[in-house]
Structure 1
Amino acid sequence: MGHFRRYAARHPEEAGVADQFMAFLASAPSVFERSHRVGHFTASAWLVSGDGERLLLTHHRKLNRWLQLGGHADGSPDLAEVALREAEEESGLTDLCVEDELFDIDRHWIPERGSEPGHWHYDVRYVVRATGTEAFVVSEESLALEWRPIPVLIDEPGTDESLRRMADKWLARAIA
């Protein structure tokens, strides 16, 4: 709960979303499991280059969209560790460092797919920085990976709204 309270204090315009996350966290012990049908926690990585100028994006195989790396908590309440694990697994990069504080939160609907009913993802995003090589390996979950200059994401047509919001946050943070 403390992470969400601190996030709301840093981003008062998102306090209502942080309240939704806190209520969901308190709603059931199974919120970190995919089997929690109404929704579950996921974690994403705002995976930036060592110089902080570029972001590694995945052309997601199932969603056919360019997004940040990330995935399901699969029972782990340590969402920073989940974001780091997903970044490593989906990029093949090593020598990654994850920041402890939340960078962004996003609640989004996942439509029904096959036998899986529609449900909510409560996605918690962390800054993950590449500190070694930036030579990635495309995993089975991606059609492609690409390092993109962060400022380009703001004006690029078709950029996911939450990616645009995170790019704004990142650039504002760099100025501060």
Structure 2
Amino acid sequence: MSWIDSIKEFVPYNEQERKDKEVILKCINIFDDILKRDNEIIHITSSGFVINKDKNKVLMVHHNIFNAWSLPGGHADGEENLLGVAISEIKEETGVKNISPITNKIVSLDMLSPFGHFRKGKYVSSHLHVSVVYLFQADENEQVIIKPDENSAVKWIPMNEIDIYSSESHMKKIYNKIICKIEDFYDA
């Protein structure tokens, strides 16, 4: 399935995702370079919500630029396989190698607006991220590593403590939405 089809087939969970999906599809039609961060207005990122086998912890990294706990993930940088991007970023940012997608479908689709910041000595203006998140499972006993140029910590965080660790109110809403979806997925 193409990356565009995976977004088109995404079933919104709430009004925020419905509206974000609508805007994202419009942007895909406007920008032919939306997969590349060279597009300084809007581009796609792909992340992983990685849970342990007991389904009570999530693997997170402490992001250097934003000084916040977040999901491992990164820019598509032209890659059309967004699930593959998420897998590569999880492995690169956490050191965890044995991860399995729970589903190949997008679990969360959001429009995010990172503030302007410095990256590798260059200023990056505020812009929009089309945030695509996939759901994975991994063994919490597998060794994790820090990627010093991107994060300062890697940790399995109890899902019921994400609000304690996360300092970004807009991201807390997204994490809690994903947790509700996971609960619905396993209760079904």
TM-score, normalised with respect to structure 2: 0.83
Matches within 5 A, 1:9-88: 11=13, 13=15, 14-88=17-91
Deviation at 1:12, TM superposition (A): 5.3
Deviates further, 149-158 or 37-46: 149-158
Distance 2:186 2:163 in 1: 15
The Cα of 1:2 is off from its aligned counterpart by 2.7
- Unaligned runs of at least 5 residues, structure 1: none
Change in 2 beyond 3 A, CA 1:126/1:57: same
Shift of 1:155: 7.4
Matched residue, 2:180: 168
Q: What is the CA–CA distance in structure 2 between the aligned matches of 1:145 and 1:54, rounded to whole Å?
A: 13
Distance 1:80 1:157, change over 3 A: closer
Q: What is the CA–CA distance in structure 2 between the aligned matches of 1:25 and 1:73, rounded to whole Å?
A: 14
Give the root-mean-square deviation of aligned CA atoms.
Answer: 2.1
Secondary structure of 2:10's partner?
helix
Separation in structure 1 between the aligned mates of residue 162 and residue 140 of structure 2, nearest angstrom: 24
Q: Secondary structure at the match of 2:117?
A: coil
Alignment gaps of 5+ in structure 2? none
The structure 1 residue matched to 2:105, chosen from 91, 101, 105, is 101
Q: Distance in 2 between matches of 1:157 and 1:116?
A: 23
Aligned partners of 1:23 and 1:49: how far apart in 2? 36
The corresponding residue for 1:117 is 125
Q: 1:152 aligns with which of 130, 152, 161?
A: 161
Query: Secondary structure of the equivalent of 2:124?
Result: coil
TM-score by length of 1: 0.88
Q: How many residues are matched?
A: 175
Runs of 4+ with deviation above 6 angstroms: none
